[in-house]
Structure 1
Amino acid sequence: MAARGVFITFEGIDGVGKSTQIKLLAERLRSDGHAPCLTREPGGSTGAEEIRNLLVQGDPGRWSGETECLLFTAARRDHLEKTILPALEAGKIVLCDRFADSTRVYQGLARGDLRALVDRLHAQFIGREPDLTFILDMAPEAALHRGLARGSGEDRFEEMGLPFQHRLRAGFQAIAHEYPERCRLIDAARAPEIIAAEIAALTAAYIAAQAPA
């Protein structure tokens, strides 16, 4: 088992395959004897899931970027308190579909010049970064087609259009360069099993590096 909790996040534009890769990594970790905690944002706790419905459903213009920042921060704080920190304190590996990097990109960059506001809210109310972040990257045209094809009813951000998705992709690429110590940019246009093998190898190397000498 991991010597201490490890917090791993998956990021990228909608439709790049984050959910698939999280499940595949969880299966690999279980086969190696771990009991990973799978969670998501917005959501991951009872209160945060209620806020999720406000954010991912409805008209694309429902909220301003500033309001979204506040709603995401409120959801993330509840998620952190109720799910993420208890799992880490129990020594679990936490696999999370999105975290603060998504807010930095969606609201901080692509929805307006709000990065300073996002960073202030994060510093004051969250104060926690992942240990390892996989940013899945692919052409927005293909990702948007995948995302809308799901028909999940949670398409508010996809419905903001292709130019918005291009801004998001550039934002995530910028995050990978801003935080190179924890971010790994993954080519998500390949076969899922090839992507999964790369992610599993990077995860295993990180966990091994944290083990006591």
Structure 2
Amino acid sequence: MNQRFITFEGGEGAGKSTQIKRLAERLEAQGHSVLITREPGGTAGAEAIRHVILSGAAEPYGTEMEALLFAAARSDNVQNIILPALRAGKIVLCDRFLDSSRVYQGMTGNVDMDFVLQMERAVTEGARPGLTLIFDLPAEIGAERAAKRRTEDQPDRYEKEALAQQEARRQAFLKIAKDEPDRCLVIDASQPIADVNKAVDTAVDAYLGAFEDA
């Protein structure tokens, strides 16, 4: 079931949302049934938590509280969106999932990693991505892109943070990719968009073809 679960990860402005929509359209044109979701988000309750987190309202309570909020949103998303879709045979594309919590709250957020992993196990109910695409982009380029796409005057909770912190997150994602090469594939998001599109399509086609032929 998790073979049909693909997650998109990376720093701010890396282009995950654009790629996930484009890939969904391509897979649907090939005859696949596809569901897109995001974290935090996916359900009404999780979207409400998303607003609380990204607005910065939870920031004064510390990173551990934010980690708990992410876990609550993930639990709702997994139970009501992700697992039902996987059980129905759909391909699920998720904009951020476990790795973002590991990076943003754990590896660069000073929350104890054992605590992060315990919450992960508690709320995912066995849902694990079979493939994770990590969109890699230097922090300064990501910040510029995020500013251009922004629809509101103020950056969100994470976009506003210093480039050094954002670059630390980039390196944390790359470490996860190095540690879990069977699941993670790094996409150079600094390439021209046509090359990024091709890299995503090649990776996903190879992945889906491998398990569909098994």
User: Which residue matches 2:23?
Assistant: 25
CA contact 2:103–2:172 (8 Å) conserved in 1: yes
**How far off is 1:212 after superposition?**
4.9
Aligned counterpart, 1:169: 170
Corresponding residue to 1:77 among 63, 75, 78:
75
Describe the shift of the 1:62–1:190 C-alpha distance in structure 2 as closer, same or farther (beyond 3 A).
Answer: same
> Which residue identity lines up with residue 135 of structure 2 in the other structure?
L
User: Equivalent residue of 1:58, what SS?
Assistant: coil
Aligned to 1:14: 12
Whether the 8 Å CA contact 1:4–1:92 is kept in 2: the answer is no
Structure 1 unpaired stretches of 5+ = none
| Alignment partners' CA distance in 1, 2:115 and 2:9 | 20
Q: In 2 relative to 1, CA 200–12 (structure 1 residues): closer, same or farther, beyond 3 Å?
A: same
Which residue of 41, 55, 59 maps to 1:57?
Answer: 55
Matched with 1:36 is: 34
User: For 1:10, what is the secondary structure of its paired residue?
Assistant: strand
Task: Give CA-to-partner distance per residue, 1:85-144, whole Å, 9 cap, x none.
Answer: 011011001111000100000000111152221011111222422110000001100101
Aligned pairs, number: 211
Q: Which amino acid aligns with 1:10?
A: F
Alpha-carbon separation, structure 2, partners of 1:195 and 1:207: 18
Moved over 2 A (4+): 58-63, 148-154
The residue that corresponds to 2:134 in the other structure is 135
CA deviation digits over 1:29-48, x for unaligned, max 9?
12211121011110011111
CA distance in 2, matches of 1:142, 1:175: 21
Deviation of 1:207 (Å): 1.2
Structure 2, unpaired ranges of 5+: none
Which whole-Å deviations, capped at 9, do the CAs of 1:2-39 have from their partners, x for residues lacking one? x9860000000010100111112112112211121011
C-alpha distance 114-44 of structure 1, shift in aligned 2 (>3 A): same
Decide whether the 8 Å contact of 1:60 with 1:159 is kept in 2: no
| Structure 1, 192-201 or 93-102: larger mean CA deviation | 192-201
Q: Report the more deviating stretch, 31-40 or 84-93.
A: 31-40
Aligned-residue sequence identity (percent) comes to: 44
Contact 1:22 1:97 in 2 (8 A): yes
Asked whether the 8 Å contact 1:15–1:143 carries over to 2, the reply is: yes
Change beyond 3 A, Cα 1:152–1:102: farther
TM-score, length of structure 1 as denominator length? 0.93
TM-score normalized by the length of structure 2? 0.92
Q: Which residue of 2 aligns with 1:125?
A: 123
Instruction: Give the secondary structure class of the aligned counterpart of 2:110.
Output: coil
